[in-house]
Copies of this chain bind each other. A is one copy, B any other.
Amino acid sequence: MRTPEEIIKSIVEKNTIKDVFFAACGGSLVDLYPGYYFISKESANMHAHWLPARELTVSPSRFLNEHALVIICSHSGNTPECVEVGQAVLAKNANVIAFTHAPGSAVDREDFNPIIYDWADDVNQNEKPQGIVMRILNELMKAQEPDYDKYEDVLDGLEKADGIVRRAEKKVLNRTWLFAEKYYEEPFLYIMASGASYSQAYGFSICSLQEMQWMNCCYLHSGEYFHGPFECTDENTLYILMKGTGSARVFDERAEVFLKKYARKYEIIDAEELGIGEIKDTVNEYFAPMLFYQMTVSYRTALQNKRQHPLDMRRYMGVVEY
């Protein structure tokens, strides 16, 4: 199998990429968001698009052509929406890269340029989807944009991310137990973040809590919080705020000040306090989502244990037809 670096090299040798589409479903869509945010912020020549896979099939962008790169991700490898979108964009001569955990699955086909990732606990972050996305995009930027000056910083981040995540995991273990002890019976909570890490507020909600714990919750952009949602804030409503880094951190800081003044039940998960600063300031905002993902695993595991609701229990997904 070719490495992510070899795949992107073979694509840019043939075509200049002008549009990068990130298309997947649920948790895989979450994993692609930091890459979308990275291109949107850093690129002078490429536009980024992030959307539920089937949106791209039913409403195909007119920029789907040989200058488009479509990154899809399907953990099972057989998500129908992902298989369909891959085929649909190939018909428009777009370039596809498909991530999957499942060798031999429907997206593991040569014209999709498959990348098989391992998902075991001991796998390095730079071999998991969020890491692979950054590896691909870092090479893409280097190959195409002469003024791109973050290549070495991203490589350094890819090197350090795994250690940071593992140390943070140990560091938060006791606080996740305390969180679960205090809040396991909460009927509802809000989860806030911004920037590249907004994806993890979304993922924490839809995957870790709604799917795996059947817990009702809502994700919010911590800037948008002040334009409506904050009116729900009171001493009884629970909030989790993920404080990212980079230029979007101002949103999270503002929300933190407000929560400290007007809420009583809140949990702050701060990427800075958890060590993301070991990676250079120029790029660490793109790595914070990897760290936050692992924190969602830690918190949901504490909740599962206290609530005695197995993370893998499903009543619909893979159980009934829909």
Chain A residues close to B by CB (< 8 Å): 25-27, 29, 40-44, 47, 49, 52, 54-55, 58-59, 61-63, 81, 187-188, 190, 194-195, 205-207, 210-212, 214-221, 223-224, 226-233, 237, 246-248, 250-251, 254, 257-258, 262, 314-317, 322
Q: Apart from A55-B248, A228-B317, what 10 extra A-B contacts exist at CB < 8 Å?
A: A26-B224, A40-B59, A44-B62, A52-B224, A52-B251, A55-B194, A187-B188, A206-B220, A206-B224, A210-B229
Query: Separation in Å of the A50 CB from the closest CB of chain B?
Result: 11
Chain B nearest CB from A295 CB (Å) reads: 18
A213 and chain B: residue at smallest CB distance: B231
Measured between beta carbons, the chain B residues less than 8 angstroms from A44 are 62-63
Chain B residue contacts of A207, Cβ below 8 A:
228
Contact partner of A227 (CB less than 8 A), chosen from B59, B206, B246, B248, is: B206
In the bound complex, do residue A226 and residue B187 qualify as a contact, i.e. CB atoms below 8 Å apart? no
- Least CB distance from A289 to B in Å reads 15
> Which chain B residue lies CB-closest to A317?
B231
User: Is B224's CB under 8 angstroms from A25's CB?
Assistant: yes
Q: Who on chain B is nearest to A216 by CB? A: B188
Point out the residues of chain B lying under 8 angstroms from A248, CB to CB.
55, 58-59
Q: Which of chain B's residues have a CB closer than 8 A to the CB of A316?
A: 230-231, 233, 262
Is there contact, CB below 8 Å, between B227 and A25? yes
